[in-house]
Structure 1
Amino acid sequence: MRITQLRSFHAVAHHGSVTRAAQALHVSQPTMTTQIRALEETYGVELFYRHGRGLTLTPTGKALYSVSLRIFSDEAEALSLLKEHGGLRTGELRLGAVGPHHAMEIVAAFQPRFPGIRISVRPGNSEEMIESLLAYRTDVAVLARYHDDARLHALPYRTHPVVLLVPRTHRFARRRSVKLTDLADEPMLMREPGSTTRHALELAMQEAGVVPSVAMEIGSREAIREAVILGLGIAAVSAREHTPDERLATVAIGDARVETTTVIVCLAERRESRAIAAFLDVVAGLV
């Protein structure tokens, strides 16, 4: 059975005449008649009683019409859903982010323009976010580190210096800046491997010939802050992500350019997807 045959049958059953059905579907009357005849002959059934007053559904025709009503009702619902999603009136965007600040900044600009798009945000470091993109678990990622990858499309967003976070009572707290060599004997609280901030600091220290003294690895910004407050060591943080606290001080690194660059990344093959393209367009307007 061809869908065009079923559509012709449904139209005739609905309108009660071949003439009105043909007008509704914008086809000729002979075409409608041929398609219905083909449907009846293929399955050896009679769908309409044909008489001088027009057409009347047979019991088989009535049963088929109840089925075709559901089919074309579902088709109309599917078309409505696709049109709504295609017009970005509804939908979902899965966002991955290494930190809340830039991600929420972009979301705040995106949602008023596309209020029907539901956004979910998943945290993680840059390596985890790239893995999630490649596995199609994330649509767009807000990263702090990115290496050229032909599979990905990237849009640079913001660059921020990396600063040292120290307790207010620490000897560095009264200084505007320190040198990397000053860190040689300092107990360092480091983020997990894969952290962009850690990578930036370790690279700068390596170039300066300084070996960091890692006192502890801690997997979250909040835990790093608490550990610094408690005097367990000092840490490197992005200046953008630091929230002022009277118990803490930030100190610049004076003899090296240590920084992170926030990059918005998606799969190259999906960059033209409507929701992703709209998100990237909002990002471009903020740069």
Structure 2
Amino acid sequence: MLNAYRSHRHIGSVRQLELLVVVYEQGSITKAAQLLHLTQPTVSMQLTKLAQTLGLELYYSSGKTLRFTQAGMLVVEEAREILRRFEYLNIRLDKLKGVQTGELSLAVVTTAQYFIPHLVGEFSEQFPELNITFKVGNRAQTIERSVADEDDFYVFSHPPEDPDLELIDFLPNRLLAIAPERHPLTQQTAISLAEFSRYPFLMREAGSGTEHAVSDFLAEHQITANVRMTIESNEAIKHAVISGLGVSILSEHTLSYGGLSGLSVLSVEHLPIQTQWYLVRRKSRPMSPIAERFLSYVKQQGSQLFTSDQQFVVS
């Protein structure tokens, strides 16, 4: 331990390491200073001292862009782990003290943004002093946050493969075929998958949970979709369908909470696609009392808050 203490004196302060991580994540000293409510000269001075202590340059300016050196990236990586250990310690101490307030951090994929606020809203009524951080991103961004261990929980329909992730399935996620209200297929009560696939199809972007589910489904039935456009947003797909650009397959929750005006749900062979929503957490991350309560709440009552099975009348 004495050697660890002596090493710490030659690496810099925890505050300096924290500043370096925030500057790296923000990509700018100015943005980092604003986020931390500090002046830019203060941040620059502390990072200059850190570089002097280490005897290595950590980053340099290339135009308006900060570029981190190999040493800088190494320090950022290790600093994140050091700061994470402080976070874990704080969680464990709060648990020993029986603290029932604090923060709950969630990161969800874009499709989940339609229903997760309803789940969180019901839970937060029980804890009015709870501060909830809610991040919405595409699947790649949410995976990145999970790898960096930035949140208590994540919501995926297609979770990444990671042995350190615990998956709690809490809600069915049906994917339904949709078309514009006046589309020829809306006049049919039984549509073959082959016929549906001949129409111009609007696909979610590669890597999204919806794209994974639809691609696997089509491959299973040996069908090739007539993909006309690839679109990165559920809302954009809905408006594109309404505009007559094609048909698509989207989550029932996108349609339920986002609205069905101008759209029809089609009765297509082998549909809906049956998938699942998962609440995901890192096993290695200690759970705060609030996180434990939220997990218990989702397991016991999460699926009861949604009655989407009765939301749709299929054409």
Q: TM-score range by the shorter chain?
A: 0.5 to 0.7
2:149 aligns to what? 136
Structure 1 pair 250/129, CA: closer, same or farther in 2 (3 Å)? same
For each residue in 1:49-93, what CA deviation from the matched residue of structure 2 results, as whole angstroms up to 9, or x when unmatched? xxxxxxxxxxxxxxxxxxxxxxxxxxxxxx9xx769954443222
Q: Which of 59, 70, 95 is residue 106 of structure 2 equivalent to?
A: 95
- In structure 1, distance between residues paired with 2:123 and 2:165: 22
The code of the aligned residue for 1:205 comes to L
Deviation at 1:104, TM superposition (A): 1.4
| Aligned residue in 1 for 2:231 | 218
1:250 and 2:265 aligned: yes
Unaligned runs of 5+ in 1: 1-78
Whole-angstrom CA distance in 1 between matches of 2:114 and 2:190 = 25
1:241 aligns with 2:254: yes
Contact 1:181–1:210 (CA under 8 A) maintained in structure 2: yes
- Structure 2 portions without partners, runs of 5+: 1-89, 304-315
Matched residues in 2 for 1:268 and 1:151: separation?
A: 5
Given the superposition, is the C-alpha separation of residues 195 and 83 from structure 1 closer, same or farther in structure 2, using an over 3 Å criterion?
A: closer
**Shift in CA distance, 177/283, structure 1 to aligned 2, threshold 3 Å:** farther
- TM-score, normalization: structure 2? 0.60
Whole-angstrom distance in 2 between the partners of 1:285 and 1:159? 15
Identity %: 28
Aligned counterparts of 1:231 and 1:237: Cα–Cα separation in 2 = 16
Offset at residue 235 of structure 1 (A): 1.2
**Residue pairs, 1:60-71, within 5 angstroms:** none
Query: For residue 239 of structure 1, what is the amino acid of its counterpart?
Result: E
Q: Normalised by the size of structure 1, how large is the TM-score?
A: 0.65
Q: CA deviation at 1:175?
A: 2.9
CA contact (8 A) 1:90 1:117 kept: yes
Whole-angstrom distance in 2 between the partners of 1:257 and 1:228: 18
Matched position secondary structure for 1:253: coil
Residue in 1 that maps onto 2:85:
none
Matched letter for residue 261 of structure 1: Q
8 Å contact kept, 1:271–1:277:
no
CA contact (8 A) 2:145 2:151 kept: yes
The equivalent of 2:293 in structure 1 is 278
Q: CA deviation digits over 1:106-153, x for unaligned, max 9?
A: 202220222222112111233432321121222211111125531111
Residue 250 and residue 132 in structure 1: after superposition, are their counterparts in 2 closer, same or farther (change >3 A)?
same
- 1:94–1:139 CA contact under 8 A, matched in 2: yes
The one-letter code matched in structure 1 to 2:148 is: A
**Counterpart position of 1:122:** 135
Where 2:239 maps in the other structure, the secondary structure is helix
Three-state SS of the structure 2 residue aligned to 1:242 is helix
Q: Is 1:195 the equivalent of 2:204?
A: no
Q: Secondary structure at the match of 1:184?
A: helix
CA–CA separation in structure 2 for the residues paired with 1:238 and 1:159? 10
**Root mean square deviation, CA, Å:** 2.4
Q: Is it true that 1:160 corresponds to 2:195 in the alignment?
A: no
Q: Distance in 1 between matches of 2:162 and 2:171?
A: 20
- Paired with 2:254 and 2:167, the residues of 1 have a C-alpha distance of 21
Question: 1-side partners of 2:247 and 2:161: how far apart?
Answer: 32
The within-5 A match list for 1:28-39 is none
Partner of 1:180: 193
Q: Say which SS state the counterpart of residue 173 (structure 1) adopts.
A: helix
Amino acid aligned to 1:138 = D
The alignment of Structure 1 onto Structure 2 pairs a total of residues equal to: 207
In structure 2, distance between residues paired with 1:88 and 1:178: 56
